[in-house]
Structure 1
Amino acid sequence: MTTSHRKTFNGNFSEEKYQNFLSQLDEGYPKITFRVAESPLFIPDDLKQKLIRAGEEIIRTIKQPNFKSLTQKSIPGNWEVPNENDHPHFLTFDFGLCKNANGEIVPMLIELQGFPSLYGFQSHLANTYKKAYQLDPNLTPYFNGLTDQSYFDLLKKVIVGPHDPKEVVLMDVDAPNQKTAIDFFVTASKIGIKILSIEDITQEGKKLYYVDGDEKTQIKRIYNRLIFDEVASDTSIFNKGFDPRAALDVEWITHPNWFYRISKYTMPFLNGEFVPETKFLNEVDTIPTDLENYVLKPLFSFAGMGVIIDVQPEDIAKITDPENWVLQRKVSYEPVVQSPSGGVKAEIRLMYLWPDGEEPQLCINLARLSRGKMIGVRYNADFDWVGGTVGLMDDTP
C-alpha cells in the first residue's frame, strides 16, 4: 500500500519534525498521555471504496426491524438504562488491513461500537499532521465531502440538537483527567458545551443540574462518554453524583444501551466480504481443529481485556459462561505501512454520525499503527512508528 504520499512523507521525515508535531498537537490542551504515531495513514482510493462498502454492509444489519430483539440479551440486567431511543447517534467500526487471496489490501472487521470515539480530536490530529509536516493541503480525514466547518456543524447538530449548548454536557468519570481528555476539550471548544465529571452533577427528583459560579442549570442532554465497564467493580462513584441507570428527565447522546447492542455481541449476526466468521461460543457445535486460526473474545470486556489470542482446547473447556464469549476466525494483519525500520500493521476505525430523523453518515476516521500481537497502546509500548493516528485521503467524492 505504498502511495506517492507515503514516499514523499518518508523521504522528508525526521525525528525533529516528529517532536515539533507533538509539541503543536497538545499546545493549549491537556498533555496527551497516549502514544501518537510518527505518521498518518495514507488511504488510497481503492481501499477507501472498500471501507465504504464494508460499513454499508454492517449498517444494513443494524437497520433491520428486528435488530433490537436480536440484541436484547446483550445488555446486562444491572446496567440497562430506561428510555432507550430508536437508534444510536454514533457508530464506529474497526477494520484490520489484511491481504486477500488475490493479493489485494482489504479491510476486515475486528470490532464495532454504538458509542462515541475521538470525534473532536481526530480533526485536530489531521490538521496538525498536515501543518507540522507541510503535507498536501488537499488531503482530508473526512468522507462525503465534509470540511472542518460542515463536520463540526453536523457534530453540534447531533450532540446539542435543539437545546441551548449550556444545557448539554459532556460527562465521564473524572472527565478532565481522562486519558482522552484532549478529545473532550477539542469537542467542547468547537460546539460550546461543558465538560463535567459525574460528581459535578446533582439530581433533584428526575432532573439533573450543575452549578457554574452562581448559576444553576438544568441538564437537558448528556453527551455520554462514561463506559459502565470502567466503573462496574465500584459503583460508589454514583453516590457522589447520580446513578445513570435511574429513570431521569434527560436525553442521552448516545443512549448507554447502544454500547452493548452494537459491540462484539453483534458480530455473529453479520455476514459479508469484510466480516470474519464469528459465532457465540455456546453455538459452536464442533470445536475447530485449527484453533490457531481463531481468537476467543469475552463479550463484556473493554479495550481488548480478556481476549485469548493463542487459543487452546483447555481455554474453551474452562469457560463456564460460553454464551458470553465469541469464537472468531483470526484476522491476519498485513504490514501495509512502510516505516524507516520495516513494515507496520494498521487498523482503521470508520466513524459515523446518525442525526435523529436522518440516515447514518460516514464522517471521519481514526487509525492505529502496531507492531505488537494486538492493536493498542499496551501491546506496543516498546516500538516506534506505532500508536494513534488518522487516515488521510485525496479530497475526491
Structure 2
Amino acid sequence: MVKEIREAYNNSFTEEKYRTLLSELSSIAPLQFRVAETPVFIPKDFRDKLLSACESIVDVILRPDFKELTQRAIPAGLEVRHEDARPDCIAFDFGVCASADGTLEPQLIEMQAFPTLFAYQVFLADAFQKHFSLPEGYSSYLSGLNRETYLKALRELILQDHQPEEVILLEIFPHKQKTAIDFYCTEKYLGIQPVCVTELIKKGRQLFYIHNGKETLIKRIYNRLIFDELLQQEAWVREKAAILFEDLDVTWCPHPNWFYRISKFTLPFIQHPNIPTTYFVNTLQQIPEDLDNYVLKPLFSFAGQGVVIDVTRADIENIKDPENWILQRKVQYASVIQTPDEAAKTEIRIFYFWPKNAERPFPVNNLARLSKGKMIGVRYNKDKTWTGGSFAVFQS
C-alpha cells in the first residue's frame, strides 16, 4: 500500500530468507496455517481511518443501554454467570477496499470481544524483523507501544494480580487447534499453561488443574474456548464442560458472554462510513432488489461457516430463524498488495485492550491476512503464494 516500500521489499525478497523465517516460526510448534511472504505496509492516513472506525464502535459499546440492547445476542443455554461490566479485549476486522473515487478505505467485516493471536503476533513480527528488512518509522504496535510495553500490557490484561500458575488458557483440545502456536507463545511470554476443558477439576465453587504434577487452584481463565463450538462436541466433552455454567469462583479474560454481545449481532446498531449497512433479516421491510451487493451471515457461527456470498431471494425466504441472521452490504476488497504474480487482497484485524482501570479500550497491535481468492481463508487460496497470515506495520 506504500509503493516505494512495497517495491523495495519485493526486490529484496528471496525464497531462502522466507524458508529460514518459516523454520524459525516452526521451532515452537509445527505451523498449521500458511504464513504470507510479506507484511502489509500501512500509511498514516489509512491507519487513522481504521482507528476512527474502531473508536466509533467503542462509542456505541460505551452506551449505557448497550447490555440491554445486546441481551438477545447470547444464545439460550450458553450464558455464563458473573459477567463483567465490560470485555477485556476486542478485535475489529477490516477489509481494504476501494471507494467510489478509487481511494483506498477500510470497511468493517466483523468484530469480536474475544482474544486472537495476541502472543504469536509478537513472535511473528520478531522473526520478520530478523530475516527481512522492514522500513524505519513503521511499527506493528499502536498507541505508542513497542514490543516490551505491549507484552507488559498483555501480561497485565491476562494475569492482572495473579501468579502465572493461577491462570490458565482454556480451550477444547488446545494442542489440536490450528492456533496452538499462539497458545505456546502465550506460555512462553506469560508462563500460563494451555488447558483442555476436559481436564478441569471442580471442588465446590473452585476449579483446579494439574500443574507440574500438582493439583493447582485456578483463579483466572484466559478464555480461548468458543462456547457454541461445545455444541458440536461429543457428549462426554459437553458433560465435562457443563461445569463452566455453574457458580464458580473464577474471573474471566474475557467473560464468554461478551463474545456474543460484541459480534455480528452489534453491526445493525452502528452507522459509520467505514461500516457496511447491516440488517437483522427479521426486520427487513422488503428484500433489496440488488441482492448481488449483499452477503448473508448467520449470527452464531465461527470462521465463516454458513456465510452465503451469492444471495438469492430464496435464501432469505427459506431461513427458518430470521432473527438469527443478518444481511450485510457486501464490500469489494481491493487487490492492493503487489506480489510476483497477481496482486493480493488483504484484511487487517486491530487488537484493542481494555485494562480494568481504563475508561476506554485502546488499540495495541494487529494481524493481517492476504488472499487471492474470492474470500479470505485457506480454502480460497490453495496452491497460491504470497497469501496467508501476516501482520501490518503502520507509519508513525
Instruction: Letter of the 1:5 partner, please give it.
Output: I
Alignment of 1:102-141 (within 5 A): 102-136=101-135, 138-141=137-140
**Which position in structure 1 is the counterpart of 2:51?**
52
Aligned to 2:31: 32
**Where does the alignment leave 5 or more consecutive residues of structure 1 unmatched?**
none
3-state secondary structure, aligned to 1:110:
strand
Structure 2 residue identity aligned to 1:393: F
1:326 aligns with 2:322: no
SS at match of 1:53: helix
Tell me how far apart the structure 2 counterparts of residues 336 and 213 of structure 1 sit (CA, whole Å).
49
2:69 alignment partner in structure 1: 70
Q: Distance in 1 between matches of 2:54 and 2:157?
A: 20
TM-score (norm 1): 0.96
- Supply the distance in 1 between the matched residues of 2:221 and 2:207 (Cα, whole angstroms): 10
Q: SS at 2:68's partner residue?
A: helix
- Residue by residue, what CA displacement relative to the aligned partner does 1:203-260 show, whole Å, maximum 9, x if unpaired? 1111000122453211000000001122212352143466311211111110000111
Query: Does the CA-based 8 Å contact 2:88-2:157 persist in structure 1?
Result: yes
> 1:185 Cα shift?
0.9
Q: Quick check: 1:341 aligned with 2:341?
A: yes
- Report the CA distance between 1:2 and its aligned residue: 3.6
Give secondary structure in 2 for the equivalent of 1:349.
strand
Shift of the alpha carbon at 1:202? Answer: 0.4
CA–CA separation in structure 2 for the residues paired with 1:213 and 1:267: 44
Of the structure 1 ranges 240-249 and 355-364, higher mean CA displacement relative to structure 2 is found in 240-249
Structure 2 partner of 1:96: 95
Given that 1:130 and 1:136 are in contact with CA atoms closer than 8 Å, whether structure 2 keeps it comes out as no
Deviation >4 Å, runs of 4+: none
Deviations 1:19-43 (A, max 9, x none): 121111222x111111111111111
Distance 1:46 1:166 in 2: 43
C-alpha change, 1:137 and 1:169, in structure 2 (3 Å) is: farther
Q: 2: distance between equivalents of 1:97 and 1:236?
A: 43
Partner residue in 2 for 1:350:
350
How far apart in 2 are the matches of 1:288 and 1:195? 46
- The secondary structure found in structure 2 opposite 1:35 is coil
Instruction: Check the 8 A contact 1:37/1:369 in 2, yes or no.
Output: yes
Contact 1:10-1:339 within 8 A present in 2 as well: yes
Following superposition, the deviation at residue 137 of structure 1 comes to 5.7
Q: Equivalences for 1:297-308 in 2 at 5 Å?
A: 297-308=297-308
Q: In 2 relative to 1, CA 346–209 (structure 1 residues): closer, same or farther, beyond 3 Å?
A: same
Q: Say yes or no: does 1:254 pair with 2:254.
A: yes
Mapped to 2, the partners of 1:304 and 1:213 lie a distance apart of 38
C-alpha separation between the residues in 2 aligned to 1:239 and 1:175?
18
Answer whether contact 1:200 1:241 (CA < 8 A) is retained: no
Deviates more, 1:284-293 or 1:237-246: 237-246
Displacement of 1:80 in angstroms is 0.5
Work out the CA distance in 1 between the residues paired with 2:140 and 2:377: 21
Residue correspondence of structure 1 range 312-323 to structure 2 within 5 A:
312-323=312-323
Contact 1:203 1:241 in 2 (8 A): no
* Contact 1:24–1:132, Cα closer than 8 Å, also in 2: no
Q: Contact 1:198–1:238 (CA<8 Å) still a contact in 2?
A: no
Give the deviation of 1:371 after TM superposition: 1.1
Q: Which consecutive unaligned segments of at least 5 residues does structure 2 have?
A: none
| 1:236 equivalent in structure 2 | 236
2:280 corresponds to which residue? 280
Moved more, 45-54 or 218-227: 45-54
Letter in 2 for 1:357: N
CA distance in 1, matches of 2:318, 2:203: 47
Aligned-residue CA RMSD in angstroms? 1.3
CA offsets per residue over residues 47-101 of structure 1, 9 Å max, x none?
1111111111111111111110110000011101010001110100000001112
From the superposition, tell whether residues 213 and 19 of structure 1 become closer, same or farther in structure 2 (CA, over 3 Å): closer
For 1:62, give the aligned amino acid.
I
Tell me the equivalent position of 1:220: 219
TM-score scaled by length of structure 2: 0.97
Q: Within 1, Cα distance between the matches of 2:288 and 2:324?
A: 19
Quick one: distance in 2 between partners of 1:11 and 1:148? 27
SS in 1 for 2:185: helix
Task: Check 1:25–1:138 CA distance in 2 against 1; reply closer, same or farther (3 A cut).
Answer: farther
Partner SS for 1:384: coil
Give SS of 2:64's match: coil
Contact 2:9–2:133 (CA under 8 A) maintained in structure 1:
no
> What SS is found at the alignment partner of 2:343?
strand
Q: Which residue of 2 aligns with 1:366?
A: 367
| Aligned residue identity for 1:112 | M
Q: Bigger CA drift: 238-247 or 330-339?
A: 238-247
Superposed CA offset, 1:99-135 (max 9, x none): 1123211100000000000000111111111211132
Q: 1:217 & 1:265 partners in 2: Cα distance?
A: 37
- 1:143 paired with 2:147, answer no
Aligned length: 394
Partners of 2:2 and 2:342 lie apart in 1 by 13
Query: What secondary structure does 1:316 align onto?
Result: helix
